[in-house]
Amino acid sequence: MTIKLIAIDIDGTLLNPRNELTPQVKKVIKRVNNTGVKVVLATGRPFVGVESYLNELDLQKDDEYCITNNGSLIQKTISGECLFEVLLSFDDYLYFEKLSRILGVHFQALTKTEMFTSNRNISKYTVHEAWMTGIPLRYCSVGNMDRALTFPKVMMLDPPDRLDAAIARIPEKVFQKYTIMKSSPYYLEILDKRANKGAAVRFIAEILGYSRSEIMAIGDQENDLAMLEYAGTSIAMGNSISRVKSVAKFLTKSNEEDGVALAIESFT
């Protein structure tokens, strides 16, 4: 079956370890997109952290889409307009902010346009996330937060050993009620139960009238599993975690070796 849509994770997949789009990856994506194949960037980043790459890849067009915040939002690439959204409530924010303090890890919450932390000792990983994506970072105590806010996602974050110890203490009922997964060794992402990259890719495919067999997905981390499980052609990067390699049907080279370009050339 011909591939009609390619969903590509950004960090650790599309970008090399220096957060760059390499010339070969750009060349191959532009070529395949110009033949009519939809290229959908599917990321945990907010829209502001995706725009520069959409521009570099010439994907800011009327009929192109991107998946942000790990599937909480599906947006038009040209404007950022939301076609689909599932958001956490302020009560969800309060629950996880308190839980993070009980577990002894740092916490941050993202709206569509800003990132908030209630930690006076702001984590270096929060600072890095704001720098990497360009989303404005605000310190705000819980009591001063606007209760009308909603959130595509909230996050717990810390060094891997500390974060993993905290994850082990999260009640099982929480995993049943929310989508919870790691996007890197340092970040635990928490979303509405209906939100994940797989559901978002399916939503776009249904809009376009594409079947699963016409979908390719490429990723490297736990937050990519849902879209790899959905896609007819699933590809793990050479630098992927072991669980991603076990789920994907195919393995490409690492993001240091233009693995995305190689994967696309192999199947289109």
Sketch out the chain's domains with CATH numbers: 5-85+195-267 (3.40.50.1000), 90-192 (3.30.1240.10)
pLDDT at 118 over 80: yes
Under 8 Å between Cβ of 160 and 184:
no
Averaged over 79-87, what is the pLDDT?
96
List, for residues 18-43, the tens digit of each pLDDT value.
999 999 999 999 999 999 999 999 99
Give residue 94's pLDDT. Answer: 98
Set 9, 92, 158, 258: catalytic member: 9
Compute the average pLDDT of residues 122-130. Answer: 97
Long-range contacts: 93-99, Cβ < 8 Å, 24+?
Answer: 93/145, 93/149, 93/151, 93/154, 94/142, 96/154, 96/156, 96/190, 97/142, 97/154, 99/170, 99/174
pLDDT for the residue numbered 1: 64
47 pLDDT higher than 70: yes
Segment 135-154 mean pLDDT? 98
Mean pLDDT of 197-202: 98
Checking if the pLDDT of 115 tops 80, the result is yes
- Residue by residue, DSSP assigns the chain as ----EEEE-IIIIIS-TTS---HHHHHHHHHHHHTT-EEEEB-SS-GGGTHHHHHHTT--STT-EEEEGGGTEEEETTT--EEEE--B-HHHHHHHHHHHHHHT-EEEEE-SS-EEE--SS--HHHHHHHHHH---EEE--GGGS-TT--BSEEEEE--HHHHHHHHTTS-HHHHHHEEEEEEETTEEEEEETT--HHHHHHHHHHHHT--GGGEEEEE-SGGGHHHHHHSSEEEE-TT--HHHHHH-SEE---TTTTHHHHHHHHH-
Q: What pLDDT band is residue 135 in, cutting at 50, 70 and 90?
A: very high
Side by side, the strands of the sheet bearing 215-219 are: 38-41, 5-8, 215-219, 233-236, 250-251
Q: Cα separations (Å) of 63 from 40, 66, 175, 209, 266?
A: 11, 11, 35, 14, 25
pLDDT score of 85: 97
- pLDDT above 70 coverage of the chain, percent: 100
Residue percentage of the chain with pLDDT more than 90 = 99
Mean pLDDT of 148-175: 98
| 164-188 average pLDDT score | 97
Known catalytic membership, residue 258:
no
Q: Residue 197 pLDDT more than 70?
A: yes
Average pLDDT value for residue range 111-127: 97
